Amino acid sequence: MGKVRVAAFSVSLDGFGAGPSQDLENPLGVRGLELHSWFMKTPVFHRMHKLTDAGQLPAGVDNEFAARSFENVGAWILGRNMFGPIRGPWQDDSWKGWWGEEPPYHVPVFVLTHHSRAPLVMKGGTTFYFVKEGAESALNQAREAAKGQDVRIGGGVSTIRQYLMTGQIDELHLAFSPVLLGEGENLFAGIDLPKLGFKPVQTTNGENANHVILKRT
């Protein structure tokens, strides 16, 4: 069976994985985009978004970790905030995510929600499934869809915390950006990682982030 993992998840030096006041203009919260500056400078990001200069960028340490984050991923799980800013019941099917007609996932994606919505088939192999039966059901469905590959928990912060506190995550790759947010969604507030069995197994300095791998033993 594949692992359940968090990969290339950007965190500020003071532990925030998103800024405050998430909305349509600030999907990652105020100043949240600063956390992802390291990723946005990589060839992986530029190829993912079909930017023409991807081949001109240096493929350094940050790019290696970005590429590794997509390896062997057979399914994703996202919280509803990661899919979009819509709250409450789905009024219609007009909102199809932040990523345009061809999202960067290319595998089944299970979105946690409290409201029913039919599966959404997108270009490039991505299908969004909206799961209102809870995190456990989403994980079971994702594992089945992954067919032995890894399930990647993409976020946001509250979704990762939920799976952490129930002991479901095997591995965390955190990219610490040289940013202090001061407020927002703190990834580890009130969570005892050693008690959950996590130990740091790798720390690598990239060009624009410090990459830390934690594994549950």
Task: Identify the pLDDT of residue 200.
Answer: 98
Q: Which two structure tokens, joined as six digits, stand for 182?
A: 């001061």
Task: Identify the pLDDT of residue 54.
Answer: 66
Q: Which CATH class is domain 4-17+28-85+97-216?
A: alpha beta
- Nearest partner of 6 among 193, 207, 205, 195, judged by Cα: 193
CA 80 to chain centre: 12
pLDDT tens digit string along 157-192? 999 999 999 999 999 999 999 999 999 999 999 999
Q: In the chain, where are the structural domains located? A: 4-17+28-85+97-216
Tell me the average pLDDT across 133-157: 97
Higher pLDDT, 21 or 14: 14
Eight-class DSSP state of 29 = -
Task: Identify the pLDDT of residue 82.
Answer: 92
Answer yes or no: are the C-beta atoms of 182 and 20 closer than 8 Å. Answer: no
- Nearest partner of 139 among 157, 166, 115, judged by Cα: 166
H-type alpha helices, the chain: 37-40, 43-48, 61-68, 80-83, 135-146, 157-165
What type of residue is 21? S
What is the separation, in whole angstroms, between the first and last Cα of the chain?
Answer: 16
Tell me the average pLDDT across 4-21: 96
pLDDT tens digit string along 97-137? 989 899 999 999 999 999 999 999 999 999 999 999 999 99
Helix/strand/coil for 25: coil
CA distance 47 to 182: 32
pLDDT tens digit string along 44-103? 999 888 887 767 888 899 999 999 999 999 999 999 989 988 888 988 888 899 898 999
Answer yes or no: are the C-beta atoms of 181 and 19 closer than 8 Å. Answer: yes
